[in-house]
Amino acid sequence: MEEEFRALLKRVRAELVSPAEFSAYEKLLALVRADTRPARDELAGVLVAAEQPLWAREIAAFALGSKGDRRAFETLVLLLNYREPVRCATAAHALARLRDPRTARAAAALATNPLRTAYALYPVRLLSELRAPESVPALLSTLERLLAARDHCWPVARACVEGLGVLGDRRAEATLVAAREHERLRSAAVVALARLTGRGPRSGGPQGPGSGSST
């Protein structure tokens, strides 16, 4: 059992208060450990059944997502934009392993939504990890908006800077130069710009249409 799932189970177990909850938890864990098609079907049922607690949906979605079962997609995307960062992190981990082609579009929509900026940290980090065609445009759009905003939301802005450096796409150069002017982003921007210079226009970045350098 991987470390992230053990941490999820430990966190959930600490939330349980009643014998009924502990019983439901053990039954759910038995399904995860069984890892058979019938067990996965039961886990998928947890995602859509009425009156299921959030922790149960989270365990089922993580287990299915980590196995590449796309029935977990909708629940994981909802958790990716949840108000509790620890749940966002768990969802991002599972989504990165789900390999659903919808994931990058969903993460980009969450990252660029100006009404949800406070919850955009993990969608931004996920976009960097996915290296999808949507990644660079979404990170650029988000970073440019934050640089111009009164509330820069520094953790999200820094994650955008770091992600653009990892992706290594020269379209990000001008925006990273602008980010370098902000003291709280300067060190990350310097590193990101150095990566761009060292890698060239497209090295390490998405290989989809339009991923070359700007003119």
Instruction: Kindly report, residue by residue over 42-56, the tens digit of the pLDDT.
Output: 999 999 999 899 999
> 169 or 198: which carries more pLDDT confidence?
169
pLDDT tens digits, residue range 71-119? 999 999 999 999 999 999 999 999 999 999 999 999 999 999 999 999 9
How large is the angle between the packed helices 154-167 and 121-130, nearest 10 degrees?
0
Report pLDDT for 206.
Answer: 42
- pLDDT of the residue at 1: 54
Give residue 211's pLDDT.
40
**pTM of the entire predicted model:** 0.86
Alpha carbons within 13 A on the beta-carbon side of 124: 29
What digits encode the pLDDT tens for the residues 114-136? 999 999 999 999 999 999 999 99
**Beta carbons within 10 angstroms of residue 172's beta carbon:** 28
Q: Which amino acid is at 204?
A: G
**Residue 150 pLDDT:** 87
Distance separating alpha carbons of residues 14 and 160, to the nearest angstrom:
33
pLDDT, tens digit (0-9, with 9 covering 90-100), for 26-45: 999 999 999 999 999 999 99
Q: Is the pLDDT of residue 209 over 80?
A: no
Contacts of 172 (CB under 8 A, 6+ apart): 136, 139, 140, 164, 165, 192, 196
